[in-house]
Amino acid sequence: MPVLDVPPIDFSQPLGLGPLLDRAVAAVPQKTALVGACGRLTYAQLADEVNRAAKALDSLGVRPGDRAAVSLPNDIDVAVALMGIWARGAVFVGVHTVLAPPEKRYLIDDCEPTLYLTADPTEDVGAPRTIHLGEWRSKVASSDPIEPFPEVDPLAVAAIAYTSGTTGNPKGVMHSQHNALLPGAVAVSRGSYDADDVFLCVQPLTILNLQVLNPLTTIQALGTCAIASRHDPVSLARWIMQEGVTHFAVVPTVAYDLLTHPDVHSDDLATLTKPRVGGAAMPESVKLLFEERFGIKPATSYALTEGPTLVTRQDIDRPIIEGSCGRPLPHIEVVVLDDDDRPVPPGEVGEICFGSRQDGSWAGVYRTMLGYWGRPELTAETLRGGMVHSGDLGRFNADGELYIVERRSQLIIRGGNNIYPAEIERVLGADSRVAECCAVSRPDDRLGELVVAFVQLASGCEAGVEDLLALCRANLAPFKVPDEICFVNAFPRTPLGKIARSQVQDMAKA
């Protein structure tokens, strides 16, 4: 639908939810903003609901700067909760519903929220005050909206996003409203999305990056966000067809299921013109299926919680370079540094660091994360020199394309030789018989660490250990060839759908 006389997003001031939601209401008040299992909200209704949620939070004792933890299933409620918390000037903390009670308790103990909102009426994770979904909905419905929309500091802490914990206990990454709104604002300003787009949100919105990529981008594009409560391929295909979905960003596993399930047909996905796949390495079999179905090569990216989300991405309008994560987004400067924080030449491996662009039209627009909640020393170390030190290893080629080598925490040292799992996974993953793979270490008295590669074969394919070892021997230095290859039927996964590497590590040790 054409949208006339809509002012462009203003980057001269920090971005805040209030003005952007007002902009959407003024432009398309009766257009569907959010749709989920529990119903639909137009932009006018969404603004009213957010204001009522802010008033309900106030009546529940949530003050500006307080943390409000949210553990709700994917539906309209979780998106409204984040926006209501922001309208109150408080801090959103997402707690994924599938976490075990001890994991939830760790997050609650760490961030000390004033309020914990959950869909489980029996849940008690030690928060000072717990409110259940039914009570929350009643509270919001009976509250008067705040008029006008409250003014809050868009650069204050607005969200704490916990890392996956693959390197130890989760760390709470602090972001402002500006930080979380900027990726969508940049994408809309560059013409990547517009009011004709319908976004399908598949992964859980308790994860801040998913809020950034879906409802928060949708509001700025003046589009519609369809929030999926079920993740099986048939249900997703039904949503895509029913709602006319044009865009999704999913992990390779979801894409693979959609493209291979016998009850999902090409017509079901006909409206899907802007599919994105990321969050994990993509097996060659999925790449081939994706290109065959959509007529474009799958573009990948480099993203992380500390971003938030995207830092680089491949441009589908340019030739896709195999193995690359693309170029830095226009508002972000990315450098590769050595151990003394000095830039390394193209082709050499170092730590990937990123910060605000220093020149051009996007200069000063990006701001780094605000730090780690309750960890000032780690914050100072990570943000030294005014840039985020990611801890990830990578390199640039001569054309400015970024290649991820590996996270430092996953480095395998075998007999004094450094081995990056991504090198092994690249070789194994290039074989069409391999659906997914993961290389980890196993302690060894003589060599320090051995390399164990776990492999899930593609449906209907067969391969033996010696077949895959021969492939590795043909493509890797001898010390990088796995000491053992183990086959699995399926991998354990994180809430985002990535392979849970720490659990695979435990399998190797066992």
The string of DSSP codes covering 140-191 is HHHSPPPSSPPP--TTSEEEEEE---TTSS--EEEEEHHHHHHHHHHHHHTT
The pLDDT, as a whole number, for residue 242 is: 96
Give the 3-state secondary structure of residue 371. strand
- Rounded CA-CA distance 197/195 in Å is 5
Torsion on CA atoms 186, 191, 193, 194, rounded to nearest 10: 110
Query: In whole angstroms, what is the distance from residue 188 CA to residue 231 CA?
Result: 27
Q: Which residue type sits at 234? A: V
Determine the pLDDT at residue 81: 98
Residue 405 and residue 323: Cα distance in Å, rounded? 10
How far apart CA 174 and CA 388 sit, in angstroms, is 13
Write the secondary structure of 209-235 as one string of H (helix), E (strand) and C (coil): HHHHHCHHHHHHHCCEEEECCCCCHHH
Question: How far is CA 302 from its chain centroid?
Answer: 10
- pLDDT for 416 equals 66
pLDDT digits (tens, 9 = 90+) for 133-187: 999 999 999 999 877 666 899 999 999 999 854 444 789 999 999 999 999 999 9
Which strands make up the sheet holding 332-337, listed edge to edge?
332-337, 350-356, 388-396, 402-407
Span 91-122, pLDDT tens digits = 999 999 888 788 889 999 999 999 999 999 88
Retrieve residue 121's tokens. Answer: 């009426």
String of DSSP letters for 30-80: TSEEEEETTEEEEHHHHHHHHHHHHHHHHHTT--TT-EEEEE--SSHHHHH
What CA–CA distance (Å, rounded) separates 443 from 496?
28
38-48 residue pLDDT tens: 999 999 999 99
Output the pLDDT for position 165.
46
Give burial (CB, 10 Å; 0-12/13-18/19+) of 70. Answer: buried
**Residue 280: per-residue pLDDT:** 60
- Mean pLDDT, the chain cut into blocks of 10 residues (510 residues total): 73 96 96 97 97 96 96 98 97 91 90 97 92 97 81 95 67 97 96 96 94 98 96 94 95 85 94 84 75 85 92 84 89 96 96 96 97 97 96 94 81 77 88 94 83 95 95 86 96 87 91
- 3-state secondary structure labels for all residues of 431-450: CCCEEEEEEEEEEECCCEEE
Residues sharing a CB contact under 8 Å with residue 258, sequence separation 6 or more, in sequence order: 233, 236, 237, 264, 269
Instruction: Quickly count: other Cβ atoms within 10 Å of residue 23's Cβ.
Output: 19
- Global model pTM greater than 0.95: no
Strands 198-201 and 224-227 turn out to be parallel
- Alpha-helical segments (H) within 355-451: 376-382, 421-429
Which strands, in side-by-side order, build the sheet including 484-487? 434-444, 448-457, 484-487
Could you check whether the bond before residue 308 is cis, i.e. omega within 30 degrees of 0? Answer: yes
Distance CA 202, CA 125 (A): 26
